[in-house]
Amino acid sequence: MKNLKIFLLSTILLLNFSNKSFSKDIPASFADLAEKLMPSVVNISTTTTITTQSNPFPFQFPPGSPFEDMFKEFGAPQERKSAALGSGFIIDEKGIVVTNNHVIQDAEDIIIRANGNKEFKAKVIGSDPLSDIAILQLDTKEKFIPVKFGDSDKARIGDWVIAIGNPFGLGGTVTSGIISARNRSIGLTRYEDYIQTDASINSGNSGGPLFDMNGDVIGINTAILGRSGSIGIGFSIPSNSAKLVINQLIEFGETKRGWLGVRIQDVSKEIADVEKLDKPRGALVASVAQNSPSEKGGVKAGDIILEFDGKKIEEMKQLPAIVAKTQVGKKVLVKIWRNKKEITKTIILGRLETSEDFKITKKDIPNKELVIEKLKISVKELSKDDIKARNLPNQTSGLVITKIQNDSPLFGSIEVNSIILEAQKKKILNVNGLNEAISQALKSNQKTILLVIYNNQNQRRYIGIKLD
């Protein structure tokens, strides 16, 4: 009985301690924090002139028709003013404001309410559509209360956050929640590493700050999931990603991002198996731009970038963000997996904003349709007409996939009309070349064959295909 009492007492004490340890971080109120921060959050309204031209008739009057002049006015351009709302926050006492690019894009007039609902005109210092960030300067000599940025890398899933903004024109609205997830990508911008939060974010919150419990900005509220309003899934640009862009926009009026000059894709398990890589990791180089830093540094299509400037690349999406943050002109070491071993290349970074598009040369191949029995697909050799119809460069070699059987190992991985360019890192000039690559893989007891294709968007892709 004595031992039982001791056990029960210990359990009660333990539970009491646990409850206290978990509850001590739960704020009793956000009032003091909100009162302190609200003067630094601004409401943004913009106006834009939209020109439309419409014809109320489902036909066109022929030239010289007596009706032409009579009804000409119905097709005349019409102009109307469009208004939009957003949020922002002050980062300098002189009235420098951070917001989203989409809040002020194409705006003719920008009016900001701050300092006790006073209205100020603002001009754009710089904007960046790739990150969806814009910097504004208020046209006034007044002083403002700025906020400071926090370290978004230290923000953890489950941490308390508050959002302040101008949803639906209701300025000074405060909402609270937690960080729901990190490193989210939703396909809105080129560089995405969003913080997900369940703090209520609605139309008009865009560009507003996401604060931690220290009152530091750890995110810029940018997007929500769902068109009808907040459903508890909002996304914010992390402060550590935003700060570099913000500083460049303030200093130069534009961004200066590092540029490698490669098109990349994920490393699948099948590709990792073929390349004898320990696990799927890194960024697979699908193609290399001509005269790019990567080409000059010796990077080749098929390389897997494992490390860039001392930073390991575990997922493909990490590389563009890391490269973009690296100083233009910097000499960096890049660790690459090639031919089943690790090598190192030295690359001098270029600037993304001044880079050129790919210039790939290709050649004509006569047209002919045949069956690849091992893959259970039908193909034809690329013709001049195919190249013209798909707006491809003048020279290419490969096979166009015309049919894919339901039991094909390519079914679900490759679309009809994709072009097979390489197999097992060898260029495919004809059907015999593809059959030979497959036969050699089977003879060497390889269970997977590596294909390089152009998809229907003419993007170069690596595909690992398991063979029976």
Enclosing domain of residue 217: 152-252
**Residue 273 and residue 239 share a domain:** no
pLDDT at 407: 79
Question: What is the mean pLDDT of the segment spanning 166-184?
Answer: 92
- Whether residue 160 lies inside any domain: the answer is yes
Looking at the structure, do residues 267 and 349 belong to the same domain, yes or no?
A: yes
- Take residue 386 and report the two structure tokens written for it: 């195919």
What CATH number did the domain enclosing 186 receive?
2.40.10.10
pLDDT greater at residue 452 or residue 21: 452
Same domain, 271 and 342: yes
Residue 231: closest CA among 262, 203, 269: 203
Alpha-carbon gap, residue 89 to 97, rounded angstroms: 5
- Contact present, 464 and 410 (Cβ < 8 Å): no
If asked whether residues 157 and 247 sit together in one domain, one would say yes
Contact 97, 165 (CB under 8 A): no
Question: For 114-143, how does the pLDDT look when each residue is reduced to its tens digit (9 = 90+)?
Answer: 988 899 999 999 999 889 999 999 999 999
Q: Which carries the bigger pLDDT value, residue 443 or residue 100?
A: 100
Residue 428: predicted pLDDT: 85
CA distance 25 to 72: 69
Residue 232 pairs in a beta bridge with: none
Domain end residue (candidates: 354, 379, 413): 354
Query: Which residue's entry shows tokens 């696990």?
Result: 279
Dmax (CA) for the chain in angstroms is 110
Q: Could you tell me if residue 146 is inside a domain?
A: no
Mean pLDDT of the 179-186 span? 90
Q: Which residues are catalytic?
A: 102, 132, 206
* Same structural domain, 332 and 418: no
Least confident span in 208-217, 310-319, 332-341, 436-445: 436-445
Same domain, 274 and 305: yes
Q: Which of 169-178, 285-294, 447-456 is predicted with the least confidence, judged by mean pLDDT?
A: 447-456
Number of domains in the chain: 3
Question: Considering the domain boundaries, does residue 436 fall inside one?
Answer: yes
Same domain, 295 and 246: no
The CATH code of the domain that includes 411 is: 2.30.42.10
Same structural domain for residues 376 and 457?
A: yes
Residue among 184, 196, 195 nearest 151 (CA)? 195
Task: Give the pLDDT score at 364.
Answer: 38
289 and 320 assigned to the same domain:
yes
| Sign of the alpha-carbon torsion through 397, 401, 407, 412 | positive
Give the domain-ending residue among 354, 384, 418: 354
- Asked whether residue 442 is domain-assigned, the answer is yes
Rounded to the nearest 10 degrees, what angle do helices 239-252 and 318-325 cross at?
40
In this structure, the answer to whether residues 288 and 207 fall within a common structural domain is no
CA 324 – CA 261 distance, rounded (Å): 11
- pLDDT category, 3, cuts 50, 70, 90? low
Predicted pLDDT at 467: 77
Q: Decide: helix, strand or coil at residue 414.
A: coil
- Render pLDDT for 450-468 as a digit per residue (tens, 0 to 9): 888 888 888 888 888 887 6
Confidence check: pLDDT of 72 > 70: no
> Is 62 inside any structural domain?
no
As a whole number of angstroms, the distance between CA 138 and CA 148 comes to 18
At 250, the pLDDT band (50, 70, 90 cuts) reads very high
Per DSSP, 153 falls in state G
Among the candidates 329, 354, 379, a domain finishes at 354
Evaluate whether residue 373 is within a structural domain: yes
Same domain, 344 and 424: no
**Whether the predicted pLDDT of 243 surpasses 70:** yes
* Helix, strand and coil in the chain, % to nearest 5: 20, 35, 40
| Among 38, 49, 34, 45, residue whose Cα is nearest residue 204 | 45
Among residues of the chain, what percentage have pLDDT more than 70? 82
Angle at 342 between CA 274 and CA 278, to 5 degrees: 45
Is residue 391 assigned to a domain? yes
Residue 101 located in a structural domain: no
φ/ψ of 252, rounded to 5, equals -110, -15
One domain, residues 214 and 267: no
